[in-house]
Amino acid sequence: MALQLPPLFVQRMQDLLGDEFQSFMDSYQQSPHAGIRINTLKITDQDFQHITPFALRPIPWCPTGYYVEEGTRPGKHPYYHAGLYYIQEPSAMAPVEALDVQPGDRVLDLCAAPGGKSTQIAAALQGQGVLVTNDISADRTKALAKNMELYGVRNAVVLNETPDHIAEQFAGFFNKILVDAPCSGEGMFRKDEDMARQWVNHSVERCAMMQQDILNIVAKMLAPGGRVVYSTCTFAPEENERSIAVFLDQHAEFQVTPLQNAEHFAPGHSDWAQQVEHELQAGTSMLSGTALDVDHNESYQPVSTASLEQTAHSARLWPHLIEGEGHYICVLDHQGEAEPVANHPVMNINPQSTFSKTYTDKPKRAEKRPSTKDQHDWKSDRRSGKKSKDYRSDAKTPSSDHNESLSMTEVIQEFTDRELNLVWSQNWIHFGGRIYQSPITEQQLKGLKVVRPGWFVGTIKNGRFTPSHALATALQTTEAKRCIQLQSNTTEAISYLKGETLTIEEQRVERATDIPPKGYVLVCIDGYSVGWGKWLEGMLKNEYPAGWRWT
């Protein structure tokens, strides 16, 4: 059945595209292009080339992105469960490349769920600096948090907040910000037919006003000399070039910078934005051709020609010109003098750092979020009404293995000495028995709705430390004292991913000669971590989480 496009949308695109219109319409008869992006936190691009089970063809604008053939099912391979790649629409890889993230940067992904662009940012950071990834939808942050864990991200904080609340705590903090703005979604019609059906319920003009509000708040969070990348998946110039022009008029300290890989894309249409401006001045809408409502006319402010002309340096991704869906990308660079990233106080790194005090202020909440085992919500105890201990560096917890009581740092260090080859290097944050390593201080999160304050490494209960699944997925094989290797082309790997107990001979437990085989084992597939097991007398007890299992 052919995709049914909204007639009003078709008419407007014909008016805008002119001679290109038929090529544009023909692209809707083609299947969407599928792609994967290699997760370089876990494997190099070169190494993946040697083991790839798929035929790959490079995506020109993303060095770690590849087209996969139609019918390929990359989500049904063990490598997906090992977090070796992210399944991502090819055009969606372009905005993060334009952000030019470097190790050590302080990055905000403001509208992040389900996390594709955040995992791309995290890979570029290579474990250095800080990533704050946020989504305003509580339900969507579940997928966002899971993807941060699946892809082995150690230096990310996951929020469920509004932009203005984040700005209160992070004024002038970030040197790179991605705004993948909510929009009318016109560029995704081929990929998601439901968006085409729902298009009539969206208002391009309302989306544009919301985007302009978001950009104004984002400007408060950017450090001097920093970069904002604004992207949408719509064709509407009201939401693209004109939204940028409105922002530039209000923020003379910013200017549009051409994309480094602009040769792959079409330029922004400043002429379309000019046309929109003329129609707004006349009180009509390009979208509907009807008179605008009175409130909108009263709030209308003219946009300068100079700002509109700058948008010619932005980029448009057209489905009839590239192998990808429709996107718009604009790079906005702050013209102030940039402070060296290393000089900005981000982390309070100290391997011997003590646990910070748990929150005493109750965070603001727009809605109650359900707590699930997979989500590991660090505020679940508070929501359930349970009382939790306020652990500090000198707090004592009973140990079932020792007569003497141990502090929480000692409990974790005891586990580390026994099971890991790892030096903890970030700030400790905890709530109840949940323990996190965070790239920022707890004070910076005060009053915010936090889904993850950092890398969730485990829980402490009754004096025992239990490692989290997120700890396992972020570890390299050399960071665990015991490893078991499973092969991707065997039923054994699938059995593990299904949660089944495995029979494993002692000689298969890889370890140093002075390490006993009994204990926690990092389970790997072809050398890449997928989860925990507990080995005892030839049996591997499966610790793979129920919500993650192969189905």
CB-based contact 99:127 (threshold 8 Å): no
E strands present in 30-170: 34-38, 56-58, 65-68, 85-87, 106-109, 130-134, 156-159
Annotated catalytic residue within 62, 183, 207, 233: 233
In the structure encoding, which two tokens stand for residue 315, read together? 């980029």
Where does residue 26 rank: exposed (0-12), middle (13-18), buried (19+ CB within 10 A)?
exposed
Residues 282, 276: Cα–Cα separation, whole Å: 10
According to DSSP, the β-strands at 222-232 and 327-334 are antiparallel
Helix or strand (DSSP H, E) at 142? helix 138-150
Helix or strand (DSSP H, E) at 204? helix 204-221
- Residue 253 CB coordination number (10 Å): 13
Active site residue 233: yes
Helix or strand (DSSP H, E) at 279? helix 270-281
Strand partners, 328: 232, 316
Residues 507, 511: Cα–Cα separation, whole Å: 9
CB-based contact 435:460 (threshold 8 Å): yes
Residue 234 to residues 47, 195, 261, 276, 320, Cα–Cα distance (Å) = 36, 11, 20, 15, 14
Please report the sign of the dihedral spanned by the C-alpha atoms of residue 41, residue 47, residue 48, residue 51. Answer: negative
- Please identify every residue annotated as catalytic: 233
